[in-house]
Structures are given as C-alpha cells and as structure tokens.
Amino acid sequence: MSESVGRKIATVTGWNIIEQPRISNGKSKLQKNFSKYCQIAKREAVLLIVDMDRPSKACPCPVALIEEWTGGNAIPPGMFFRIAVREVEAWLLADHEAMRNLLGGQPKLSSDPDNMEDPKRELLNLLKRVKKYVRDDVVRVSGSNLFQGVGYNAVLEKWVNDTWSPERAAQRSESLKRAFYRLHG
C-alpha cells in the first residue's frame, strides 16, 4: 500500500519515477536495507515511506524512529525518509472527498487522522459500508472480528491511483503535509 501511495505522491509532485523492481517489502526488511537505500540516495532521489505504528518505549515518536534507523548518521540529501503517523492508512483517511467517493453516502470521517489509535481498523470499519459487490473483496468478517479481505490491497491501490489526492489529504494530516511539501521542494 505504501508503495502505491509513494508513487502517487511522487507523480503529483512531478518526480520522474524510475521503474525499479521492488527490492524489499515490509518494515523490518526496509530497515535492514536502510544503509543500501542511503547509498542509492547518493546517486538518485529515494522516497522511503515507513509506518510509525504504535509508539513504544524504544520508539515513542517519528524522531526516535529516524534516530533508530539512521543510528545517528546524517541522511544523504537525496533520501526522502518520511514517516506516516501512525500508518499510511491515516493518510488515506485524510482525503475526505476520495473516501466519500469510495464509500458512498456521508460516512463520518475523522478530521485528525494522524491522532487515530488504529487507522487501519477505522478504515476497515468504514469499508464495511461499501456496496456488497466490493465489500466481500476488501473486508473479511470472522466472528465479531474484522480483517482485511483478499482484495484489500488491489482495490485500495487502484483507488489511490485513480481517486486519492495527496494534496487534499495533506490538509488534514500533518505528517503527510510535511512529506508532501518536502517533496515539492
């Protein structure tokens, strides 16, 4: 999901995206390869989006996360290292117009998604409202629990690409706003 969001932001801000095969997937793998991405960033621009996730003792805020990943070393100028607070789903929820387009009707949407406890859960709850045709793809209900469905990524990635606007979403998410303007230069 972060990959699609990154692509969209980069496209909107006028980056020239080099089709790079996905090198690694998942936060821990990204962290493991962080120094290699910094090497790349010496030659070309690299956009790295990482979910903040739940704050922990070791990592209470985005600054601490950056500190943890860089080990205190300077980040090369070509590296755009952005943290989604708490996760990239909050950025999706921040574009109300696109959300209404996806969900239909007048869903109740948060005006401060960056401060949500669990944005993904919130998004899944909202997705329960979509028309049945799409709903079975994107959410899976198991007992009283709600999980992502087999088409969650496919459907939302398409929606990010077609409908979601980082400019609109940046108006409600501080972390996205920073990412967006940093990239805009």
Partner 1 sequence: MIVTRLLLRNWRNFIEVDIPLHERTYLLGANASGKSNLLDVFRFLRDVSKSQGGGIQKAMHDRGGIQKVRCLHARNDPEVRIEIHLSESLDTPSDWRYILAFRNEARGEHRISVSSEEVFHNDDRLLLRPDKEDTEDPARLTQTAMEQIQANLRFRSLAKHFEGITYLHLIPQLLKFGDRIGGQLLEGDPFGQGFLERVAREPKHIRDSRLKKLGESLSWVVPHFHELRFIKDRATGHPHLEARYVHHRPGAGWQREDQFSDGTLRLLALLWILYEGDSLLLLEEPELSLNNSIVQQIPLLFQRVNRDRKKRPRQILTSTHSEALLSNEGIDPRGVLLLEPEKEGTSIRTINEREAALLRDGFSVSEVLLPAIALETAKHLSAI
Contacting positions for partner 1 (CB under 8 A) = 25-26, 133, 136-137, 140, 142, 147-154
Nearer to partner 1 by Cβ, of 3 and 167: the residue is 3
Asked if 58 and 76 touch (Cβ cutoff 8 Å), the reply is no
Nearer to partner 1 by Cβ, of 20 and 106: the residue is 20
For residues 129 and 144, give the distance between their C-alpha atoms in angstroms, rounded to a whole number: 16
Q: Which residues, at least 6 apart from 36, have a Cβ–Cβ distance to it below 8 Å?
A: none
Nearer to partner 1 by Cβ, of 89 and 95: the residue is 89
Q: How far is the CB of 11 from partner 1 (least distance, A)?
A: 19
Q: How far is the CB of 142 from partner 1 (least distance, A)?
A: 7
Q: How far is the CB of 1 from partner 1 (least distance, A)?
A: 10
42-48: which pairs have CB atoms within 8 A and are 24 or more residues apart?
A: 42/76, 42/78, 43/78, 44/18, 44/78, 45/15, 45/78, 45/79, 45/80, 46/78, 46/79, 46/80, 47/6, 47/9, 47/10, 47/15, 47/80, 47/82, 47/183, 48/79, 48/80, 48/81, 48/82
Nearer to partner 1 by Cβ, of 3 and 174: the residue is 3
| Residue position matching structure tokens 């007048």 | 106
Nearer to partner 1 by Cβ, of 57 and 133: the residue is 133
Q: Which residues, at least 6 apart from 21, have a Cβ–Cβ distance to it below 8 Å?
A: none
Nearer to partner 1 by Cβ, of 87 and 95: the residue is 87
Q: Residue 68 carries which DSSP code?
A: H
Q: How far is the CB of 147 from partner 1 (least distance, A)?
A: 7
Q: How far is the CB of 151 from partner 1 (least distance, A)?
A: 4
Q: How far is the CB of 152 from partner 1 (least distance, A)?
A: 5
